[in-house]
Structure 1
């Protein structure tokens, strides 16, 4: 770009913004604070929407009470080797007959690829989009451990599920490493052929715990 062309462009920009006030103008935010058609105070409606979205994505959903947790996890987890991050209560695995694998010290990518699954908790869940959010908190481990195994089993407490994204954002710490998961990993090529497991686990199983 020549100097004269640059000056002409800048002159047009200055002329276009000449009438704007010096002080910043507040931009109105008219987006919905809650999922449309769902009362956020109606917990059963919020949880039902979360389950519907997860199943639409192809995830398996197991709903259980706190007392049923060990049995539900035993049904969701494979009988093989599963990465179990620090912070997962031992009681949860009391009915499971597989082999828990520690990620401390960190396993290599090759080792993570050879395990059968990873088990985690989550930081929040969003019903409107069927999204689970991880922030590397207790029971969640590091990001790599949730991306390489073929199956991700995630425990979501009912009170962690909100109806929409704006509700979740306020509860999350932006300084933490946030991972947003909406169903099993998949992508589609130019012919719209869906291919699972390209960027993460090919299968997602969610244990939704009431109480």
Structure 2
């Protein structure tokens, strides 16, 4: 473009009609600059929403199954325990929806679920008030992963993450417990390099409603 053409173009740009053309050009440049950021924000919002849903899903499944097991009136057979564990996708269909998103139909790859019965005993059998209790596993079954070991369980602060060998201090008391531990796996669709948690863990604790202690066909020795 010659000097004269450049001057002519500038004059047209500053003419009444040309100002709008220039503004449209500036707007196009601005949009081109911010469009990638908007796209990243949109994709991030989608994955963050999915992560929140996964965390809520873990808590919902843990509470629902804990409530179900706590109403047992008789000894649970192995088939009944297995059926309850396998019912997780029926309790929350989003588990399978997540599986479709990541291309997996393998339930243990979508959620881990452990059902345990825990009994408490006094450290001093003669104690009648402000007693100290020990916790031990009655039985523990899992869809996949670790079960709670037979024997004594350790006390952990309520704020600490629960492990298969521990229980929160506030759960210790004179009545047995049904404990359901759920781990829901999460994989982002868009922001794969972003440090999202890969697993959301939740536990529920219910007192048995109909029996003193929920038992399985095969309990831990001494339970």
TM bin (shorter chain):
under 0.3
Q: Which has the higher helix share?
A: 2
What is the TM-score when the length of structure 2 is the normalising length? 0.21
What is the TM-score when the length of structure 1 is the normalising length? 0.22
Q: Is the radius of gyration larger for structure 1 or structure 2?
A: 2
